[in-house]
Amino acid sequence: MKTLVHWRLELLKHLRGPLLGTRAKGTSSNKWLHRQQKDPLVKRAVVEQYRCRSAYKLIELDDKFRFLNKGAVVVDCGASPGAWSQVGAWSQVAAQRVTTTSTNTQGGMVVALDIQEIADLPGVLVMGGSDVTDPLVQERVRELLGRRGADVVMSDMAPNASGIREMDHQKIMQLAESALALSHSVLKEGGVFLCKLWQGPLANVFRSRLKANFSFTKECRLQSTRQSSSELFIYAEQYHST
């Protein structure tokens, strides 16, 4: 008898398009489905209605650093399918619901950016089809936030892995640089920057550069990260522009 988790995974396998990307059929797809079925965080995400297991990475980071505060303005880069933005909104970061036509100037705000489309989320201003690396997109975000600026800029962006370690490392570093560039233009004094990287020599250089504008930085390997993954997160707080 198929469980609710199995049925939902089957649905995601066939309807991944705008939410979870696409995956070729064949052996690799079967391995992915098998891994999803066995992953306890995937099952937990289904029960707790998060869009994917990555929600628990952000929850783990927030438990550690306590930066998702009520009333904060949060920019989520590479947000699709929306799990991190869900955590932000469900943590009462967004004090009121935000729509694409009206923004709350008193309470919190979560802005979700991704080059892929993102299904609407309560309490989140969704900007699907927006390439964070595009200067015009970054300008739109600046105009949207105005003088309020952002309390948190966070990035879970990652390129499609080619299997060539050095090339993939360079690509994710380029995405990290784009998120950092956005943070420099919208982050408030004292703000927080959070970014996913893959282990490699450029990650150390990137962290060293952060120290020029953040009083505290910390590299984190999470319990919720799969053992086979080389991902790590860099957390930086107490932003200062000079």
Residues paired with 125 in a beta bridge: 111
Catalytic site includes residue 218: no
Which of 57, 196, 211, 218 is labelled catalytic?
Answer: 196
Tally DSSP H helices, then E strands, for the chain. 9, 7
Structure tokens at 106: 């008193």
Helix or strand (DSSP H, E) at 222:
none
Tokens standing for residue 189: 């004094």
Q: Which residues of 171-197 are buried (b: 16+ CB within 10 A; e: fewer)?
A: bbbebbebbbebbeebbbeebbbbbbb
Give the number of other Cβ atoms within 10 Å of residue 109's Cβ. 27
Pair type for strands 150-155 and 109-114: unpaired
Q: Got the DSSP string for 60-87?
A: HHHHHH----TT-EEEEET-TT-HHHHH
Active site residues: 196
